[in-house]
Amino acid sequence: MDYQEQLRAFSQPNLRVCQLRQLEILKVIDGICRKHGISYWLDGGTLLGAVRHGGFIPWDDDIDIAMDYQDMKRFARIAQGELPDGLFLQTPTTDPNVKEQMVKIRDLNSLYIEKGDSFVNEYVKGIYVDIFPFERHPDIPKSWTKRLAKGITKSNSILHHPHTYSLRAVAEFFWFGGQLLVYQSIWKMLSLCCRSTRYANIPTMNGYGITHDKATVLPLSTVRFEDAEFPAPHDPDQYLRNIYGNYMEIPPVEKRHFHSVVIIPELTK
């Protein structure tokens, strides 16, 4: 057992407390969105948990929601002034050491260390809810989308990984920086010149290249998650099949993914 697995085992008793805190954060987000007419929906493993388990996947340690990109920008502007004390809207603007072009709502009175954290960059590391940006997607083959998303994500990851000052680091910066510009330019060109009848989380913002027909997403429905109803895609079944295939099959223990290695739900009482 490596040290990250040992840390994960240490934090396991805190998992349910973490989930319930994330649920509280989700309800705050939901309240702001309802107040200001901002649409969002449960995404990824959170939607899967709602459909398959009626709440969290038992081993899941985060909440994922999605918003149209323009709605996400509007939400970020509004939420900075309306989040209660103890919650922090994290973006590259509000927390410069964060590089992902997305929004997280973090709990400031907790600690959540993710797998692969090098502890080099200082940024807010509390329990969080992820908000993924979606936009209309050009009608191109899915293989193109996945290749672009993979290339952009890999380039971003290497560029933002801590480097020592060396010839190799300089070479990587120019090589992967150039690749990133090429991938982003191709995506922008395709977005301008092709019809758009689908939705996807944005590849240029580390999206994973899964697309959905617009009719699968809109108009939104609702789904039960834990003790409340939340917005969901119009056709949750098709949405989940697009991501996971046979999503009702419970994966074996060795394929159950998680994000954290350390969870401390409350730093001060």
3-state secondary structure the chain: CCHHHHHHHHHHHHHHHHHHHHHHHHHHHHHHHHHHCCCCEECHHHHHHHHHHCCCCCCCCCEEEEEEHHHHHHHHHHHHHHCCCCEEEECCCCCCCCCCCCEEEEECCCEEEECCCCCCCCCCCCCEEEEEEEEEEECCCHHHHHHHHHHHHHHHHHHCCCCCCCHHHHHHHHHHHHHHHHHHHHHHHHHHHCCEEEEEECHHHCCCCCEEEHHHHCCCEEEEECCEEEEECCCHHHHHHHHHCCCCCCCCHHHCCCCEEEEECCCCC
Per-residue pLDDT, 256: 81
User: From CA 159, how far away is CA 8, in angstroms rounded?
Assistant: 27
Label residue 257 by pLDDT band (50, 70, 90): confident
Residue 115: phi and psi, rounded to 5, are: -55, 140
237 lies in a domain? yes
127 lies in a domain? yes
Is the bond preceding 236 in cis, omega lying within 30 degrees of 0? no
Q: How far is CA 241 from CA 14, 63, 66, 261, in A?
A: 31, 19, 17, 29
For residue 104, the cross-strand partners are 90, 130
Give which of 66, 60, 72 is closest to 22, Cα–Cα. 60
260 lies in a domain? yes
Q: Averaged over 88-103, what is the pLDDT?
A: 89
40 lies in a domain? yes
Looking at the structure of the chain, the number of domains it has is 1
123 lies in a domain? yes
Q: Which domain holds residue 123?
A: 3-135+216-264
Show the tokens assigned to 179.
């690749």
Lowest mean pLDDT of 8-17, 18-27, 56-65, name the range: 8-17
169 lies in a domain? no
Instruction: Please indicate whether residue 110 or residue 151 has the higher confidence score (pLDDT).
Output: 110
Q: How far is CA 211 from CA 41, 119, 151, 201, 238, in A?
A: 15, 34, 17, 8, 11
Lowest mean pLDDT of 101-105, 154-158, 243-247, name the range: 154-158
Per-residue pLDDT, 135: 78
230 lies in a domain? yes
115 lies in a domain? yes
Per-residue pLDDT, 86: 97
**pLDDT over 90 at 25, yes or no:** yes
49 neighbors 225 (Cβ within 8 angstroms): yes
Show the tokens assigned to 232.
């969901």
Q: Averaged over 17-29, what is the pLDDT?
A: 97
Cα dihedral 55, 57, 59, 61 sign: negative
**pLDDT over 60 at 259, yes or no:** yes
Question: Which CATH number is 88's domain given?
Answer: 3.30.460
Per-residue pLDDT, 204: 44
